[in-house]
Amino acid sequence: MGNCLKSPSKRDNSMSLQANSEVTKVPNRSGQSIVPSSQSVRAQSEKKESGTLPSPRSEEDILSSPNLKPFTFNELKNATRNFCPDGLLGEGGFGYVYKGWIDEQTLGAVRPGSGMEVAVKMLKPGRLQGHQEWLSEVNHLGQLLHPNLVRLIGYCMEGENRLLVYEYMPEGSLENHLFERAAQPLCWAMRIKVAVDAARGLSFLHDSKPQVIFRDFKSANILLDSEFNAKLSDFGLAREGPTGDHTHVSTRIMGTLGYAAPEYYTTGKLTARCDVYSYGIVLLELLSGRPAMDKTKVGKEQNIVHWVKPYFSDQNNLLGLMDTKLEPKYPRRSAFVAAALAGQCINEAKNRPQMSEVLAILERLLPAAKYANSPGASSSHHSI
């Protein structure tokens, strides 16, 4: 079985749509649960659109989606000023992302600075895997609509050219906000808001029919709009979940080291709980301010799961993992619940909560999070 797990992408200051250490498990923790059990919580999120994804679908069916506009290559050349280097937002193994402008009503190309800003993703030509990922993106984002999924406006398939047109996300990726040295540290309220938004998007995918497994959930694939609403992007590796009596989907191993669930990394067996593991890693990044794979560390300490083990082994020291940039403005009890929840997400697969349960717990933290960053708020004595 081929192993295509990639290292986390190099961070830059773009609004990118992209995306040698082992992945390990956190041992089970004994004692009384410090967050509500899986059986005691229920999802409370409200979907604006129910998820339906007809399957199987031919390439012709996928490209005929009424939700998407087919663009010509010339239209996108005009929209991006002939793919002007000044408008390059980011690049990666897939290709390049350019800023463009289209008319909000007709979706035709307009002069720079007018109309609606968009991000135009151009795949490198001649890659079969690239076409498959491009088609997966069109299939999923062309059918599934949700406030916490980046909107796919249209596509271009002309000769060897494969392009996608998305809504523009001006605040870029969560990865950049957490780990760029020049970035302003995110406050507690913003981190919890992003965690909830991302959980809503992922929970929506898992509850869709058929189920959708994201397979490459990471902070680089969480984009932020002008109001810091978080949306999931880059569905190139997304797959439909198991159906009928099947417990998993067997796939070629894809994803990003540091975020991939250990059981998937070692067997290729994919379930929704693999996404839950990846979500737990991102939640740890939000809480600690430390990347999933920290190349400034040595050996196993590069992996956030190894680094965090001592904190989970002593619950009295659990808040020791918190980002020092947050001091002192965060509610301790809420932070304790969030950290414990992250630990549950990266537990053994059978002991992980479902995303709907993760979402229900995090939504309870929102009121205290908003209060924590208000003038005169105490960091220690209000409830979750």
Contacts (Cβ under 8 Å, ≥6 apart) of 16: 9, 89, 90, 91, 92, 97, 172, 173, 220
Output the known binding site for ATP. Answer: 121
List, as one string, the DSSP characters of 200-231.
Answer: HHHHHHHHSBS-EE-S---GGGEEE-TT--EE
In this structure, the strands spanning 3-6 and 253-256 are: parallel
| Residue 125: φ, ψ to 5° | -70, 155
Output the known binding site. Answer: 121
Residue 216 falls in the annotated catalytic set: yes
Cα 93 to the center of its chain, rounded Å: 18
Q: At CA 77, angle to CA 12 and CA 19, rounded to 5?
A: 30
In this structure, the strands spanning 212-213 and 161-167 are: unpaired
Which among 197, 216, 234, 275 is annotated as catalytic?
A: 216
Half-sphere exposure of 251 (CA within 13 A, CB side): 22
In this structure, the strands spanning 249-250 and 269-270 are: antiparallel
- For residues 273 and 206, the answer to whether their CB atoms sit within 8 Å is no
Catalytic residue positions, numbered: 216
